[in-house]
Amino acid sequence: MTDPIKGKHILLGVTGSIAAYKAADLAGKLMQAGAVVDTILTKDAAEFVTPLTFRSLTHRPVITNLFDVDSELAIEHVGLALRADIVLIAPATANVLAKLAFGIADDALTTTILATRAPILVAPAMDAHMYDHPTVQANLHTLRSRGVTIIGPAAGRLASGLVGMGRMVEPLTLVEYVRWNLGKHGDLHGKKVVISAGGTEEPLDPVRMLTNRSSGKQGYAVAEAARDRGAAVTLVTAPTALPDPIGVNVVHVMTAQQMHEAVVNAVHGVDVVVMAAAVADYRPASAADQKMKKGPSDSMSIDLVKNPDIIGSVNGPFIKVGFAAETQDLIANAKSKVISKNLHLIAANDVTATDAGFGVDTNRVILIDRAGRIEELPLLSKYEIGHRILDRVVALLKPGA
């Protein structure tokens, strides 16, 4: 199991907002993720961006007009509606929202949408005053109550010069929404998963801390992969530079003790616990209230006390997966952690490699299970690594595994 977008038919509806130019980027990103993208442009959208742009990016015919005899898709828009695994209208104007709310079918896009039974995602984009208008709000309410997913709009500077709600949500985020929706009935549907990520920060005083080089990328990628297989995911994360993944319940913590408390609170009734966080083994015995001053002595020492072993201390009827970031004796160290922390599986990686481990988007891990079986994975994206780990988790969740 991999990216749920791969091979799926996505019907992309583009309507006449200035944000239509971003829809070209969106079409490209969906294509790169492996989707088959069919685009319908409204007449007004085609004023902002040409059908040729989408045709070039998606390598597929683009519909602008139901009666366009030159378009092979025009005559079979109902077939297109039925074939779609998901519909994404981005950007969606106030006008198209009104039409969808009232079932008006006066062009290729609105006609096709009435004919589809696929999930519909809508990313509104319009001026802030238009968005605030009670009519638009009422139409959004109607669409939501019928199961349409409304994404955004985001706040910020608008083409009109106003600052407010009305910007189309960014293409990368829209791709995440598509993944999340397509994956809802995946092999972790109905399962609860808790994941830890990031490097904990242990304060010495208000301006200094002990931390490590973890970027949080691998833990976040496991969270996204679990979400994309239908799991309900809680991500307990130490500070990172990463945005909160959409569709995931994110709990922000700073220290190992806070992470411990948050994980203990989150694991009740869960099916899987994956601890990808780089947790400080020790913390300063006390943190000063004020910034520590330089003293006359040429040396100083800091008293450290041991932190709780989070994964080692949570036990229950769930699958436990740990990580072992090592700089030497990778397999031997990882094997002993499987036993000492009572894990079902450990993902071991050599963090001295430049293309794997801390900070980068790729990783090379070795999976070791309780029986000592070793599976060496090739260099993969951290998201793909997340899926490979979850493939093993799904197998472990099967009765009798």
Cα separation, 266 vs 270, in Å, equals: 8
Residue 310 C-beta: closest distance to ligand C5P, Å: 3
Nearer to ligand C5P, 179 or 341 (CB): 341
Nearer to ligand C5P, 256 or 262 (CB): 256
Footprint of ligand C5P on 171-210 (CB under 6 A): 196
Cα separation, 263 vs 23, in Å, equals: 39
Count of residues engaged in binding ligand C5P, rule: CB under 6 A: 15
Tokens describing residue 365 = 């891990």
Q: What does residue 167 show for φ and ψ, rounded to 5 degrees?
A: -75, 140
Nearer to ligand C5P, 122 or 346 (CB): 346
Q: What does residue 205 show for φ and ψ, rounded to 5 degrees?
A: -160, -175
Residue 266 C-beta: closest distance to ligand C5P, Å: 13
Residue 286 C-beta: closest distance to ligand C5P, Å: 19
Residue 343 C-beta: closest distance to ligand C5P, Å: 8
Q: Per rule CB under 6 A, is residue 337 in the interface with ligand C5P? A: yes
Cis peptide before 91 (omega within 30 of 0): yes
Beta bridge partners of 376: 366
Nearer to ligand C5P, 57 or 279 (CB): 279
Beta bridge partners of 302: none
Options 9-17, 28-36, 187-195, 305-313: segment touching ligand C5P (CB under 6 A): 305-313
Nearer to ligand C5P, 140 or 279 (CB): 279
**Residue of 172, 285, 183, 270 lying closest to 225 (CA atoms):** 183
Q: Per rule CB under 6 A, is residue 92 in the interface with ligand C5P? A: no
Residues in contact with ligand C5P, shown as a per-residue x/- string from 256 to 295 under the rule CB under 6 A: x------------------x-x-x-x--------------
**Residue of 99, 93, 125 lying closest to 112 (CA atoms):** 99
Catalytic residue IDs: 212
Residue 308 C-beta: closest distance to ligand C5P, Å: 6
Q: Per rule CB under 6 A, is residue 365 in the interface with ligand C5P? A: no
- Classify strands 249-252 and 163-167 as parallel, antiparallel or unpaired: unpaired
Cis peptide before 153 (omega within 30 of 0): yes
Q: Per rule CB under 6 A, is residue 310 in the interface with ligand C5P? A: yes
Q: What does residue 38 show for φ and ψ, rounded to 5 degrees?
A: -105, 125
Cα separation, 137 vs 94, in Å, equals: 10
Scanning 214-368, the segments in alpha helix (DSSP H) are 217-227, 256-266, 310-313, 330-340
Cα separation, 123 vs 362, in Å, equals: 31
Options 74-82, 120-128, 225-233, 308-316: segment touching ligand C5P (CB under 6 A): 308-316
Options 38-46, 241-249, 304-312, 351-359: segment touching ligand C5P (CB under 6 A): 304-312
Binding site for ligand C5P (CB under 6 A): 196, 256, 275, 277, 279, 281, 307, 309-311, 322-324, 337, 341
